[in-house]
Structure 1
Amino acid sequence: MARKPTYEELEKTVKELERRQDKQTEKEASYGQDLFRRKLSEEALSESEAKYLQLFNTVPAAIMLYDAETKKMIDGNDAAFDLYGYSREEFLNLTYWDITAEPGKTKKTIPRVLSGEVKRIPLRYQKKKDGTVIPVEASVGLFMLNNRKVICGVSTDISKYRQAQKDLEKTNQELRDEIQDREQAENLLRESEEKYRLLVENANDAIFIAQDDAVKFPNPKGEEMTGYSADELAKMPFINLIHPDDRDMVLDRHRRRLSGEKLPSIYEFRIINKAGEKLWVELNTVVINWEERPASLNILRDITQQKKLEAQLHQIRKMEAIGTLAGGIAHEFNNALTGVIGNIQLLEMSFPDNKTVTGHTKAMKVSSQRMVNLTSQLLAYARGGRYQAKTVSLSDFVEDTLPIIKSNIDPSIRLETDLPRDVFSVKADPAQMQMVLSAVVSNSTEAIEGDGRIRITASNKEIDAAFAKSHPELNPGHYVCLSIVDDGKGMDEETVNKIFDPFYTTKFMGRGLEMAAVYGIIRNHDGWITVDSELNKGTIIRIYLPAIEAEEGVKKEAIVESATEMPKGEGTILIIEDEEMVMNVIRAALEWLGYRMLEAKTGKEAIEFAKTFDGDIDLALLDIKLPDIWGDKLYPQIMEARPGLKVIVCSGYSIDGPAQTILDAGAQDFIQKPFTVETLSVKLKNVLESD
């Protein structure tokens, strides 16, 4: 029979059981705590994931995760699905190669992404589900997920900004860099407040806030444009910057806008900087809250240079319009003068020994010649005065011309020249250029009271693209510059702007058509003329003519006296002329010279003669402007009806234009109205006797 345990043994056994029970309880408690902690961790993780998913799907930029090795998509946000046009299921079945439009560039970029060298790609082209290619700005990063390398890409569609950039490039080449900087800055502005600050500080436009009639928070460009520091601007009313003539308008608009009235946000006005310079600016303004009170955010652009270019363009168009009118007037004058001069000569030819008649006709010819000179100036202003362009050395031309005009220069005025021998040659009409030099030197002479100096220099100039930008009338290239500098009275800005207007005059500048003709002649030679002047400091006139490199030295032509005896001839001449007085003079002259005539007053009559006249027509005198057709359109029809017909073009306009077109098409010669019977007889004989 087993021995009963003693009390001590029982007590020891109970304690051992209690110890074991306590240890099991601790284990269970610890396990319970572990379960509790895990439960809390899982709940926290679930909450974190929920926040991540919410953030992930609400970010407006397209975010995608793809395997760094296989390039297979792992995940993407709603913005990515919307951007590329895929559903979530479709997107997760793609690889990165399915959305890139530049696989070659991408292959080169990915190793740099994996190495950490590239984290931002400013421009990459990607494609949507429908095949549309879009430009994006991308940020990329590499991280580990479930023991594999994953690339996170964030893409922002910049299609709108790229299109805006292209549109702006078309309208203003000069602002291209600025627009690009601004576009990039606007992207940075959306990313963070710090980048916005950098944009403001580095903008090429002045940016500031106007509040309480003062300028606050001006950026560096605003300080540069106004010449005032930020502290100075804060202490002065901003209206002090505005040109006095524009102050009421600017202040009125500012206050009305702050009161809530809707007004155009962009307008132009003038400011005066600290140095006293007037600048044209374009203001783009919007009402904002600044420090919990109404204010305006203002972007100020300096458009002074643009205004100057607009003024130049306006001046050019005005001159061209007046030039067209002047050309028409000159044409009518020349037609009338053809009748006057022709009848004077016919009168002299009818009474060669009558001294009374020749005495009167001599005075009439002098007056007529003055009118001829006037119409020559009108044609020159109308850009129709380059009659006989030749290759000339500008230095030689000035040297040869100065003795002719020196007699009109006061002896108290010193004439200096600097005419290098290495100056390029130009293609110019010496007679017209003599008119230019004479007019400019004459005006310089009149501007000088008492002792003075006129300096004439010639030099080669290289017009580069930068200079041509601000002078749209010039193309880049080689030019010869003729400068005439005087130390006379000078002119104010208003006078300079009007100096080339016909008949504009002051006490000493721009008589009649002289300077207007100068402008027309230079423009007709594909050149440009500039005037810089200041009251009481003198004037500088610069004439730019395109340079040519002559293969041979410029030869001076000897002046040949014309024959005094008019050559007569024979044959049938078709006169195509609508002006009855001109027709009468030509008819009488041709009869006297021994020719037979056919007369056509319209293009239709001329074509009919060419087709139906039963006999030879040896030559046609073709006027440019007829009631039913222009001469350059009539010429090919006549030649089709009667091949081999010789033609002399006759016009009150210059040789440039339709007349030159007819000559280029095959006509033999050109005669400028008004012409003399001698000139007509020589032209007819030379053309008829030519092969």
Structure 2
Amino acid sequence: MTPDEIRPELAAGAEDLRWELARARADRERAEAAQRRAEERLRLCLDQSWDAVVFLDDGAGVRFVSPAARTLLGIRGEALPGRDVLALLAADDRAVVAEALGRARRGPGIIGPFEFRVRAADGTWRLLEARARGLVPDGDGVVVVLTARDLGDRRTLEERFADTERTEAIGRLARSVAHDGHNVMRVIMGYSDLLLATLDADDPRRAQVESIRRASEWGAVLTGDLLRAARDPEIASTTTDLNVVVSTVAPMLRQLMGPGVELVTTLDPLLGRVGVAAGEIEQLVLNLVLHMRTALPQGGAVTVETANVPGGGVVRRSGEAGVGGSVMLAVSRSGDEGRDVAPLVEPWVDAHEGGDRVLGLADVHQIVKQRGGHIAVSSDSGGSTFRIYLPRLEDMIVTAEAIPEAPLPRGSETVLIVEDEKPVRELIRDILRLHGYTVLAAREGNEALTIATRHGGAIDIVITDVIMPGLSSRDLVARLAAMRPGIRTLYISGYTDELIGQHELRSVGSDFLQKPFTVDALARKIREVLDAR
């Protein structure tokens, strides 16, 4: 072909080549842009990931460290690349990690999880959980990706959860034991009251029964404290009579007084109650009395006194207004010839006498402050006195007018008792029969319905525990009301009024009596409900 003939073909080929080069350049630019976008997405993922990510080469050398890994180890990223990752690990863990990395290099799939310890920049050891995956080498030297997360927080949470489960298990056991023990104490108290009602004032057996009554009352107080410690809603609203606590611990304290030291108790018979656990009151009395005893090496007297204090009777040292109705617990000593009171108020003082170690007063101060109370200390030539003032529960104040002097009310009506605890059920039955009532007794709701269906006479009132197995007390009362219109209802329970409200039992025609109750309280309450018709 002549040059003139070849020239057009060369021009056309050159044009095609230019288009091919342009397309190749565009494809390369698009590929590079896509790669940059992929790298940017990967960087964003690594930046946002809470897991530490480390790229390793064939020799376990570090090639890349993610921000999370830098934060976890407390180091800058450039401080790691090129270092052997195994050198950062605890010696005991290196073999496990080396074996996992080797498996990741040799085959596909994710290896792990496995655990190891790594030293952070501050010298502390971090426990990590990791996974490894091998990559096909592509020239950048990266053959393994290692991802890891800190197990420290999770292990802490697991330990806390285990502790919580153990605490709950102990609480359930404590509730079970204390609940049964509390019911036993209720029965002993009830039958003691019945026995006392049959004994003359000069009967020598009366003192023995009264001792049983006091012991059972204290047992009920202690089991109540155990229930509260187990966070049981039952008897959470139980109040404490300081006189009962002082009378109970006084015999033991007298044995601890030592030669020449006398314990005297002066208790107000009309004392109000306080919302403080009996166990805490016992701790207050023991600590204060024993502190006073150690200050009387030459002998003397320690006096424990209780009294009601009217509004304005207590003034805080800060100058605040006087506390409204309060109950005072005073512990005083005489025979020390007005010794300096400073050692008494030192919260952490330890006193020793005859090898006995007496607790400091920090516990006393903490209990009183937590319960909204106040401590006053005085000292003069006659001795020294601690006075503790605790808020008085106004609805529990005992007055002369409140002391029942009239005979307990009696009745002739028919009562249906529904109580799943047999001893409690039998106690209520015996109390009511003693006061003239005809009594029908059932263990649970369905049995009560059967009795109500078969009984040919009237049933004037049903006394039912709030929390019952099987048929609920609310459904039982509704079905009894349909069967016997006009029947009255008295709910009994050791649970708080708040919990009672959750069961929607404040219906028309019903009333409530809090456990534990006395013979007096039950006799008067049932009469009150029946007479309200």
Q: CA deviation at 1:335?
A: 3.2
Q: Which amino acid aligns with 1:39?
A: A
Give the number of equivalent residue pairs. Answer: 411
Q: Which amino acid aligns with 2:505?
A: L
d(CA) in 1 for partners of 2:159, 2:117: 15
d(CA) in 2 for partners of 1:310, 1:646: 52
Q: What secondary structure is seen at the aligned counterpart in 2 of 1:663?
A: coil
Q: Which of 677, 682, 688 matches 2:519?
A: 677
- Cα deviation, 1:268-291, whole Å, max 9, x if unaligned, reads 566553435565544343234677
Over 3 Å counting, the alpha-carbon distance change for 1:453 and 1:658 in structure 2 is: closer
d(CA) in 2 for partners of 1:690, 1:365: 32
- Cα deviation, 1:23-51, whole Å, max 9, x if unaligned, reads xxxxx966x46622442145436756986
Q: Which of 162, 184, 205 matches 1:336?
A: 184
Q: CA deviation at 1:589?
A: 0.8
Write the mapping of 1:177-326 to structure 2, written as runs, cut at 5 A. 191-193=37-39, 196-197=42-43, 200=46, 203-209=49-55, 217-230=64-77, 233=80, 238=85, 248=92, 251-259=95-103, 260=106, 264-267=111-114, 273-275=120-122, 277=124, 279=126, 281-288=128-135, 296-302=144-150, 304-326=152-174
Superposition CA RMSD, Å: 5.3
- Kept in 1: contact 2:86–2:98 (CA 8 A): no
Q: Which of 434, 439, 446 matches 1:604?
A: 446
d(CA) in 2 for partners of 1:337, 1:237: 71
Could you say which residue in structure 2 is the equivalent of 1:21?
none
Over 3 Å counting, the alpha-carbon distance change for 1:221 and 1:49 in structure 2 is: closer
- Cα deviation, 1:113-135, whole Å, max 9, x if unaligned, reads xxxxxxxxxxxxxxxxxxxxxxx
d(CA) in 1 for partners of 2:358, 2:494: 41
Over 3 Å counting, the alpha-carbon distance change for 1:296 and 1:45 in structure 2 is: closer
Q: Which of 37, 40, 45 matches 2:13?
A: 40
d(CA) in 1 for partners of 2:398, 2:489: 26
TM-score (norm 1): 0.47
- Cα deviation, 1:542-600, whole Å, max 9, x if unaligned, reads xxxxxxxxxxxx99656135534463132221111344433332122112223222222
Q: CA deviation at 1:209?
A: 3.6
Q: Percent identity?
A: 22
Could you say which residue in structure 1 is the equivalent of 2:383?
none
d(CA) in 2 for partners of 1:339, 1:558: 23
Could you say which residue in structure 2 is the equivalent of 1:576?
418
- Kept in 2: contact 1:655–1:670 (CA 8 A): no
- Kept in 2: contact 1:607–1:638 (CA 8 A): yes
d(CA) in 1 for partners of 2:425, 2:112: 65
Matched, 1:586 2:428: yes
Could you say which residue in structure 2 is the equivalent of 1:560?
398
TM-score (norm 2): 0.59
Q: Which amino acid aligns with 1:223?
A: R
Q: CA deviation at 1:345?
A: 1.6
Q: CA deviation at 1:677?
A: 1.0
d(CA) in 2 for partners of 1:285, 1:255: 11
- Kept in 1: contact 2:111–2:133 (CA 8 A): no
Over 3 Å counting, the alpha-carbon distance change for 1:343 and 1:636 in structure 2 is: same
Could you say which residue in structure 2 is the equivalent of 1:522?
none
Structure 1 gap ranges (5+): 1-27, 60-138, 140-187, 391-395, 422-429, 432-442, 460-479, 483-553
- Kept in 1: contact 2:348–2:361 (CA 8 A): no
- Kept in 2: contact 1:652–1:674 (CA 8 A): yes
- Kept in 2: contact 1:603–1:629 (CA 8 A): yes
Structure 2 gap ranges (5+): 240-273, 293-315, 321-325, 328-346, 351-356, 373-391
Q: Which of 206, 221, 232 matches 1:383?
A: 232
Over 3 Å counting, the alpha-carbon distance change for 1:687 and 1:248 in structure 2 is: farther
d(CA) in 1 for partners of 2:467, 2:513: 14
Q: Which amino acid aligns with 2:52?
A: A
d(CA) in 2 for partners of 1:316, 1:658: 28
Q: CA deviation at 1:363?
A: 2.5
Could you say which residue in structure 2 is the equivalent of 1:70?
none
Write the mapping of 1:466-485 to structure 2, written as runs, cut at 5 A. none
Q: Which amino acid aligns with 1:207?
A: V
Q: What secondary structure is seen at the aligned counterpart in 2 of 1:265?
A: strand
Q: CA deviation at 1:623?
A: 2.8
Could you say which residue in structure 2 is the equivalent of 1:649?
491
Q: Which amino acid aligns with 1:217?
A: F
- Kept in 2: contact 1:208–1:217 (CA 8 A): yes
d(CA) in 2 for partners of 1:568, 1:189: 95
d(CA) in 2 for partners of 1:657, 1:241: 58
- Kept in 2: contact 1:330–1:652 (CA 8 A): no
d(CA) in 2 for partners of 1:555, 1:29: 123
d(CA) in 2 for partners of 1:576, 1:273: 67
d(CA) in 1 for partners of 2:522, 2:497: 16
Could you say which residue in structure 2 is the equivalent of 1:20?
none
d(CA) in 2 for partners of 1:55, 1:233: 34
Q: Which amino acid aligns with 1:286?
A: R
- Kept in 2: contact 1:458–1:481 (CA 8 A): yes
Q: Which of 351, 375, 379 matches 2:199?
A: 351
| Higher Cα radius of gyration | 1
- Kept in 1: contact 2:280–2:367 (CA 8 A): no
d(CA) in 1 for partners of 2:238, 2:202: 41
d(CA) in 1 for partners of 2:368, 2:81: 52
Q: CA deviation at 1:641?
A: 2.5
Q: CA deviation at 1:358?
A: 2.0
Q: CA deviation at 1:636?
A: 3.0
Q: What secondary structure is seen at the aligned counterpart in 2 of 1:207?
A: strand
d(CA) in 2 for partners of 1:369, 1:406: 19
Over 3 Å counting, the alpha-carbon distance change for 1:200 and 1:287 in structure 2 is: same
Could you say which residue in structure 2 is the equivalent of 1:363?
211
Write the mapping of 1:448-467 to structure 2, written as runs, cut at 5 A. none
Write the mapping of 1:449-528 to structure 2, written as runs, cut at 5 A. none
d(CA) in 2 for partners of 1:197, 1:312: 36
- Kept in 1: contact 2:348–2:362 (CA 8 A): no
Could you say which residue in structure 2 is the equivalent of 1:94?
none
d(CA) in 2 for partners of 1:617, 1:369: 33
d(CA) in 1 for partners of 2:160, 2:482: 46
Over 3 Å counting, the alpha-carbon distance change for 1:45 and 1:224 in structure 2 is: closer
Q: CA deviation at 1:315?
A: 4.0
d(CA) in 2 for partners of 1:256, 1:267: 8
Q: CA deviation at 1:676?
A: 2.1
- Kept in 2: contact 1:210–1:295 (CA 8 A): yes
d(CA) in 1 for partners of 2:431, 2:462: 15
d(CA) in 1 for partners of 2:10, 2:319: 99
Over 3 Å counting, the alpha-carbon distance change for 1:630 and 1:194 in structure 2 is: closer
Q: CA deviation at 1:404?
A: 8.9
